[in-house]
Structure 1
């Protein structure tokens, strides 16, 4: 994956600002698997907590290339708090200390 990954205490941040970046749903799945130290096959399906297609479309550019939405979407998945924002950042932190 072509991105910058940093670990800061118990928080894991995955940032990918490349124009060909992966969709947010894939970044979430890969990031949680990395943070949990497991394979993506071991995780529950993301669609059980959020619609992956809707998440991807929320921040996808319009046909004219403009950004569709701004802001942040937050949810819990596989024991982690997930925050996805319009800058291409996926923040992942454990829900329990």
Structure 2
């Protein structure tokens, strides 16, 4: 996985780091990648994470991100939502950001 955001970090430091990862949506569904990344951020097993459907419809999310073949090459879809105390931002390009809600709030002032 490659990092495209120099201020992002792929190793968690409690609830103070933004985690950025890049995926190929043809290899892993966005919903599974989100759960794995949040469990990494929380330093717990994926089974310890609340079901994603409590925050967003995972089937709809996967479908929206998988249908990028109809987009122009210079177009990206982005979905943002909160789950398990993190703001999740997922892009059709394969980039995924997980940011603690408290960190995001403090950055916005």
Scaled to the shorter chain, the TM-score interval is: 0.7 to 0.9
Alpha-carbon distance in structure 2 between the residues aligned to 1:13 and 1:67: 25
Tell me which residue corresponds to 1:94: 100
Cα RMSD between the aligned structures? 2.3
Q: Which has the higher strand share?
A: 1
Match of 1:83 in 2: 89
TM-score normalised to the size of structure 2? 0.72
TM-score by length of 1: 0.81
1:50-71 CA distance string (max 9 Å, x none) = 0000000001147xxx245832
1:12 matched residue in structure 2 = 19
Report how many aligned residue pairs link the two structures.
91
| Structure 2 unaligned blocks of 5 or more | 11-15, 104-109
Please state which structure has a larger fraction of its residues in helix.
2
CA distance in 2, matches of 1:56, 1:84: 10
Between the aligned partners of 1:57 and 1:11, the Cα distance in structure 2 is 25
In 1, the alpha carbon distance for the partners of 2:46 and 2:90 equals 19
Sort the Cα spacing of 1:12 and 1:90 in 2 relative to 1 into closer, same or farther, 3 A. same
Structure 1 position 22 matched with structure 2 position 22 = no
Q: Retained in 2: the 8 A contact 1:13–1:92?
A: yes
Q: Which position in structure 1 is the counterpart of 2:49?
A: 43
Shift in CA distance, 71/20, structure 1 to aligned 2, threshold 3 Å: closer
